Amino acid sequence: MNSETSCADRRPVISVIVPIFDEEAVISELHRRMAAVLDGIGEPWELVCVNDGSRDTSLSMLLALREQDARLKVIDFSRNFGQQLAITAGMDFAQGDAVVVIDADLQDPPELIEEMLAKWREGYQVVYAVRADRKGESRFKLVTASVFYRLLHRITDVEIPVNAGEFRLMDRQVVLAMRRLREKHRFMRGLSSWVGFRQVGIEYQRAERFAGDTKYPLNKMLRLTLDAITSFSYIPLRLSTYFGFFLAALSLLGIVVTVISRLSGNSAFFGQASTLVAVLFLGGIQLIFLGIFGEYLARIYDDVRSRPLYIVSRAHGFFERDNRCDSKSAPENPSGFHPPAD
C-alpha cells in the first residue's frame, strides 16, 4: 500500500481470515470468488491469508496476488502450527468491524458472507454457518463428524452448535474478547461460543472441496477432538471416580458371594486365572485413566510454559510505517510479537 492511501481506505470494515496449508490448487479461485463477493458488498475489505507452513507454492502464489491486490494480506508462519492457531493469528491481526473465518478450499461458499452481514447488521455478533448437507465427503468423514458433534454436545458445558464448522462471522467486540483467550490447545468454535454475545446460526449446503485433498487426516482430527473435549469438559476426569465407585461396589459384592459360596462348600473363584484376569483388567483400567489424566496434564504443562502460540516469520500488509491514522488503524497484537513491515 502506498502512503497516499487515506485512513478510511486503510481500516477495512470486513476482514476475511483464511488458513492456508498446501492450498496452491485453490488460491487463485479463492481470491477470485472472494473478491467478487466482497466487491459486491461495497465496503472496504481485507483478505487475511495465514500461511501455515505450506510446503508447496502457496506462499509465492499469495505474494504474487498481493502485488496486484493489496487488500490481500499475508501472515507467514515460521512452520506449521495447525489450523486453529492460523485462525488465531488471523484474528490477532484482522482490523475489520466484522471478521469472517472461512476455509481455503471453497467448501464453504463465500457468497454466504452477504447473508451473514445482513444478520450482523440486525445486531447479531456471532453468525455461524450450519451445514445442512455435506457433498463429496467420504462416509467415514460423515460418520466420524456426526459422532464428534454428538459427543461434544453431550459432554461439554458450553453450548457448541452442532454441525457448525469454522465458517462464521464475528463482530469486532467478539474478536477482542477472543484475543484475550490465550490457551494453547484451542478449539476456536468452542471458544467463540464460550465468549457469549448474541449468536445466531444460518444454514447452508456444504460443497465439495474445489481442488486438492483434505489437510485433516485422522490423526489431526483425533487431536482436535481431544482438544475440544479437554477444553470444555471435566467428564473424562470424573469418569474415573464413577468407575472407581462402581468397581468397589462390584468387588464388595464379589467378596460376599465368594464367602457364602465357600461356606456352602462350593468351589467358585478358585485358581490363579480369576486373580490374573481381575488384576489385568484393573491394571488396564488404571492405565486408561492415567492416560486421560495425562492428556489434561500435558495441556496444563503447555499452558504453564506459556510459549507464544505461533511464530510469524513475516507479515505482509500490516504495521505500516506511516502511522498518521487514529489508533484504531494499528492492530492490537496481544501475542506481543511485532514482525517487520513489508
State the Cα–Cα distance between residues 240 and 253, nearest whole angstrom.
20
Strand runs labelled E in the chain:
14-20, 45-51, 72-77, 98-101, 126-134, 164-171, 199-206, 312-316
The answer to the question of residue 337 lying near ligand UDP (CB under 6 A) is no
Among 13, 20, 27, 312, binds ligand UDP (CB under 6 A): 20
- Single out the residue of 105, 108, 166, 171 in contact with Mg ion (rule: CB under 5 A): 105
Shortest CB 215 distance to Mg ion, Å? 8
Give the DSSP H/E element, type plus range, for residue 113: helix 112-122
Minimum distance from CB of 77 to ligand UDP (Å)?
A: 9
Judged by beta carbon, residue 186 or residue 215, the one nearer ligand UDP is 215
Q: How far is the CB of 252 from ligand UDP (least distance, A)?
A: 48
Give the range of 20-28, 36-44, 266-274, 287-295 binding ligand UDP by CB under 6 A: 20-28
Helix (H, G, I), strand (E, B) or coil at 131: strand
CB closer to Mg ion out of 24 and 105: 105
CA distance 155 to 66: 44
How far, in Å, are 26, 101, 158, 252, 271 from residue 112 at the CA level? 18, 12, 26, 60, 68
Chosen residue from 54, 83, 84, 107 binding Mg ion by CB under 5 A: 107
Cβ pair 316, 342 in contact under 8 A:
yes
Taking residues 76 to 115 in sequence order and writing x for each that binds ligand UDP by CB under 6 A, - otherwise, the string is: ----x-xx--x----------------xxx-x--------
Virtual torsion, Cα 166, 172, 174, 176, nearest 10 deg: 110
User: What are the residues binding ligand UDP (CB under 6 A)?
Assistant: 19-21, 23, 52, 80, 82-83, 86, 103-105, 107, 214-216
User: What are the residues binding Mg ion (CB under 5 A)?
Assistant: 103, 105, 107
